[in-house]
Amino acid sequence: MEDLPEALVTEILKRITRTSDLNSLSLVSKQLYKLEGNQRGAIRVGSGLCTATEALTSLCARFTNLQKLEIDYSGWIPEHGNQLDNKGLFVFSSQCSSLIDLTLSFCSHIDDSGLGCLAHCKKLVSLRLNSTPQITSVGLFSVAVGCISLSALHLIDCEKIDSVEWLEYLGRDGSLEELVVKNCKGINHHDFLKFGSGWMKLQKFEFERKRDIYDFSLGCEYYDPSYNAHSMDIYDFCCESLKNLRLAHIKTWPEIGLRVVLGKCKALENLWLEYVRALNDNDMIALSRSCSNLKSISLWLNLQRHCSEDGYCETRTSFTDNSLYALALNCPMLQIIDLRFTGCSRDWPSEIGFTQEGFLALIRSCPIRVLVLNTANFFDDKGMKALSSSPHLETLELILCHWVTDAGMRFIAHTPCLSNLTLRACHKVTDVGVGELGRAHKLESLVIEHCGRVSLQAAQGVTKSVHYSSECSEALMKKIGLIDEY
């Protein structure tokens, strides 16, 4: 190895991707140690990191071209030794001149003064702060001012960040392309309206409010089902570059807040609306008229109380068939649909605002490739028959769909392009229906979980790739809302 040209050794090292292999290889010779250190662009450190300044200096000296650094102290206890502190972060930021991507997770010994050291990282493009309890808006503002190349910012479980001067500053600069804020109780969804012209360049935006015990209760709130926030030109900003939008666990009434974004993002391709209170058909209609490029939509809906001007009140999910018809008419590129209904009766008719007729109108109008239905009690074997003629459907997942039976399996077995099928807690499907799938010889993969009338023997004969479980796994409990998704 010592006699090989340096360029050839470097090319060999590029083809080794596992960190453990690179660590072992660097012990073979001084040449490999040096070349591997110069080439290593990313490292992840945590509880085993020695925080002595000398050790940190040595680490930075070895990895001279380090571009991506993740410091993760999840699961840390005092017996593991001292965490990285402000002084250590100063060493990293001042000596790793090529650093462009930094993640700090569960770093409880870093505060605003330490975060301010990142001003040395003029090339920093991406910063993720996850459960950093000492960081406040002051430290975040120093990052906004000092890191002039910043284009991606993630804030997750940062309890002390509240005032939004940092957000206004980043908005005026207009450099952010990706902004993710989750479970930061000091930040409300209407604060993002202060982002102003920053929305113009933003391509990905996620906001999830920190949840409380009242999130799934009806309480005493009444939402006007005819209210149209998009008829009022209050907010003078546009977000025409936004391609990915996720809103979760927020209440859009009486504050208009982020609901106005739904009618402004013309380039939107992927949308997730997860338990957003007080939206209505007007919001979805405004979205569909603006977003002809929409490819994926995920709607997780729970029960809300809607009252009209004449005093009539009903308890149901946010949207009706009018939303489905609007999507069918205006979004011809829609390929992925994920519908989840929480807290609704298993019987039909129920509190779900969609009907099978409206749902199938959407399926027939769009080239759907992936479909997930969770507790969709409006969907039955007639729906499966209609679905079986979908020319593009490749992946189907049914969860707690109580009205799908063996007859539905017989229909869906003949779907032209269906290759992946998942059945979770579909208790009216039996070995007979699964046998129909096997006779069709179309599936490439089959997942069956907690379907009480389907046996392992029947599932194994359907296709080569089969996952079977008779138990209710943690993944399924998340999907049906028995435990938190995140």
Pick the CATH number of 1-39 from 3.30.450, 1.20.1280, 1.10.40, 3.90.1070: 1.20.1280
Token pair in block for residue 282 = 């007007």
Q: What percent of the chain has pLDDT over 70?
A: 87
Instruction: Tell me the pLDDT tens digit for each residue of 142-167.
Output: 999 999 999 999 999 999 998 889 99
Report whether 330 contacts 288 (CB < 8 A).
Answer: yes
Mean pLDDT for the chain overall: 88
pLDDT score, position 82: 81
DSSP letter for each residue of 212-276? -TTTT--TT--B-TT--GGGS-------TT--EEEEES-B-SSS-GGGGGGGT-TT--EEEEES-
Q: Which residues pair with 315 in a beta bridge?
A: 305
pLDDT score, position 254: 63
Instruction: Please tell me the distance from the alpha carbon of residue 469 to that of residue 339, in angstroms, as a whole number.
Output: 23
Instruction: Please tell me the distance from the alpha carbon of residue 113 to that of residue 130, in angstroms, as a whole number.
Output: 17
- Of 184-193, 291-300, 373-382, the range with the lowest mean pLDDT is 184-193
In b/e form, how buried is each residue of 357-391, taking b as 16+ CB within 10 angstroms? Answer: ebbbbbbebbebbbbbbbbbbbbbbebbbbbbebe
pLDDT score, position 477: 72
Report whether 197 contacts 168 (CB < 8 A).
Answer: no
Across 188-217, average pLDDT: 84
- Residues contacting residue 49 through CB under 8 Å, at least 6 positions apart: 71, 84
Report whether 282 contacts 227 (CB < 8 A).
Answer: yes
Q: Tell me the pLDDT band of 35, cut-offs 50, 70 and 90.
A: low
Residue 466 has pLDDT above 90, yes or no: yes
User: Which sequence spans correspond to the domains of the chain?
Assistant: 1-39
Task: Give Dmax (Cα) for the chain.
Answer: 88
Report whether 283 contacts 257 (CB < 8 A).
Answer: no
pLDDT score, position 17: 67
Question: Which three-class secondary structure state does DSSP give residue 102?
Answer: strand
Q: What percent of the chain has pLDDT over 90?
A: 59
Residue 181 has pLDDT above 90, yes or no: yes
